[in-house]
Structure 1
C-alpha cells in the first residue's frame, strides 16, 4: 500500500507586513507635516508673546518714567542691540569668539569625561579612588577658580578653554558612568557565556547601552560650557573680546538695551548647542531607544 504525496499549500504570510492586523505604514502628505510642525511651534510662540506682553507692562506701567532705562521695552532692545550695525557687529564678533571657546571646552570635556568614566567603570576600587575628586571639582566655585587659572596659565585662549572644561566635565563623567553601570545583568551573563573579552564587552555592550546617558550629560554640559566661556571672558578682560567682556562694557555704560541683547545672544548660543546635540542624539537613538522616538 503506497502513500500518495500531497502537496501542502505554501503559506503566503512570509512578510510580517502582510500578516493580519499589520497594515503598511503610510506617510503623511506634506500639508499634514506642515500643520504638525506649525502646531509644535505655536506653544513656544504663545509663551514668547505672553512674556513680551508682561515685559511691556513692567516697562510702561510698573516702572516710573525716570527708571525705564533699567528695563527698556523689547522694540528698543531689538533696535539698539540688533538693528544698529555697530552694536550688531560687536555682538557677532563676541559671539564667534565665545562659541570657539565653548565648543573647544565642551569637546575636551567630552573626551576627558568619557575616558575617566570608562576607566572608573572597569573596577569599583578605581571608581572609589577617583570619583570623590570629580565631585570636589564640581563643587569649587567658578568665580574663585577663574582668577587662579588666569594667574597660573595666563589670560589667553587656553585658560578660557580650561574653565569651560572644568565646568562641563562633571555631568559627562557622572552620566556616562551611570550608563556604563546600568547595563542589564542578563546581557553581561550572555557575553560571559560566549567568553567575550573585556574590550568586546565594553565596545559592543556597555558603550552602546550608555549612549542615552552620554547624550544627557552632553546636553547638560552644553549650557555649562557657554557659562564658563562667558565667565572667563568677563574676568580676564584680555585677549579677544567675547560676549563676557561686552556685557561688562555695556554694564559700565548703563546701556541696558545692549546688555539685554548680549544676554539674549548668550542664551541663543546655549540653546543652539543644546539643539544640535539633541538632533544628533535623536538620529543616533531613534531606531532602538524609546527616548528618541516620536
Structure 2
C-alpha cells in the first residue's frame, strides 16, 4: 500500500511537470529548426546545454556565490524581521507609526534602491547581501505580526488566570501561533532572497571575491552570448527552486515542534 501511494504521488506530482518540460524542449527545438531562428535571438536547447557544459566551472562558482549571498541575506532578514514583527505586535503605537514605512520599503522597485545601496555601502558582497536583506524582509515582518495578533483573546485570559509571565505568554502561547505564519513568510522570502542576490550582483558583481549569477547575466548581455544568458537564467531558476525547497523543509523541520495542533 505504501509503495502504491508513493507511485501515485510521483505520477500525480512529478510526472506532469516533467512531461511538460520535455514537450517544451521538443517544441522549442523544432521551432528553432523550422523557422531558422538566429542563435542570438533564441538558441536551441542543444546550444544552451553546450554552453552550460563549456562554462560549467564559472557557472557553478557563480551559483555558489549567489546562493551564499542569498542565504546570508535571508538569515539576517529572518532575525531582524521576526524581531520587528514581535515589536509591532506588542505595541500598536509602534505598529501604526512604522508599518507604513515597511510597506513603502517593499513597494520601492529593487532596481531603484539597489544602486543607492551600492553608493552607501560600496561595491562587493556586502551590497549584494544588503539588497537581498531589504527585498526579503517585508514578508517576515508581515507574517510574524499577523501570527502574533492571531492569538484569541480567550487564550490570553486563560494564561492570565494562571499568572503566566510575559515571557511564558510569548514562548508558550504567541510563538506557537506565529510559527505557521513565520514558515509562510520564510517560503516567500526565500524566493525573494534569490532575486535580490541576482539583482544586487547585476549592479555590483562580487568585487574581488568573484562573479555571481547576476553579473554573468549582465556579462552575457554585453557580449551578446544569448546561449550563455539562457544557461545562467536556467541555473538561476533552479537555484530559486532549491532555495525555496530547502528553506521550507528546514523551517518546517526546525519549527515543527512549536506548531499548535487543533
**TM-score, normalised on structure 1?**
0.81
- Matched with 2:239 is 269
**TM-score, normalised on structure 2?**
0.91
Does structure 1 residue 35 correspond to structure 2 residue 7? Answer: yes
Does structure 1 residue 107 correspond to structure 2 residue 75? Answer: yes
- Matched with 1:251 is 221
| Ranges in structure 1 where 5+ consecutive residues have no aligned partner | 1-27
SS at 2:164 equivalent: coil
SS at 1:69 equivalent: coil
Query: Residue 186 of structure 2 contacts residue 248 of structure 2 at CA under 8 Å; is this kept in 1?
Result: no
* C-alpha displacement of 1:148: 1.4
1: CA distance, partners of 2:31 / 2:248: 35
Does structure 1 residue 230 correspond to structure 2 residue 198? Answer: yes
- Matched with 2:174 is 206
SS at 2:97 equivalent: helix
Superposed, 1:1-294 pairs within 5 Å as 28-29=1-2, 31-32=3-4, 34-39=6-11, 40-61=13-34, 64-65=35-36, 67-81=38-52, 83-84=53-54, 87-237=55-205, 238-239=207-208, 240-283=210-253, 284-285=255-256
2: CA distance, partners of 1:207 / 1:68: 54
What are the Cα deviations for residues 109-166 of structure 1, in whole angstroms up to 9, with x where unaligned?
0000000000111121121122111111112222121111111111022111111100
* C-alpha displacement of 1:282: 4.2
* C-alpha displacement of 1:60: 2.8
2: CA distance, partners of 1:91 / 1:228: 18
* C-alpha displacement of 1:68: 4.2
TM-aligned CA distance change 1:289 to 1:119, over 3 Å: closer
1: CA distance, partners of 2:163 / 2:106: 39
Query: Residue 60 of structure 1 contacts residue 68 of structure 1 at CA under 8 Å; is this kept in 2?
Result: no
Query: Residue 95 of structure 1 contacts residue 266 of structure 1 at CA under 8 Å; is this kept in 2?
Result: yes
Provide the alpha-carbon RMSD of the alignment. 2.2
Structure (1 or 2) with the larger CA radius of gyration: 1
SS at 2:87 equivalent: helix
Query: Residue 81 of structure 2 contacts residue 137 of structure 2 at CA under 8 Å; is this kept in 1?
Result: yes
Structure number with higher helix proportion: 2
Number of corresponding residues: 258
Query: Residue 171 of structure 1 contacts residue 220 of structure 1 at CA under 8 Å; is this kept in 2?
Result: yes
1: CA distance, partners of 2:27 / 2:127: 40
| Ranges in structure 2 where 5+ consecutive residues have no aligned partner | none
Query: Residue 106 of structure 2 contacts residue 135 of structure 2 at CA under 8 Å; is this kept in 1?
Result: yes
* C-alpha displacement of 1:65: 2.1
Query: Residue 106 of structure 1 contacts residue 222 of structure 1 at CA under 8 Å; is this kept in 2?
Result: yes
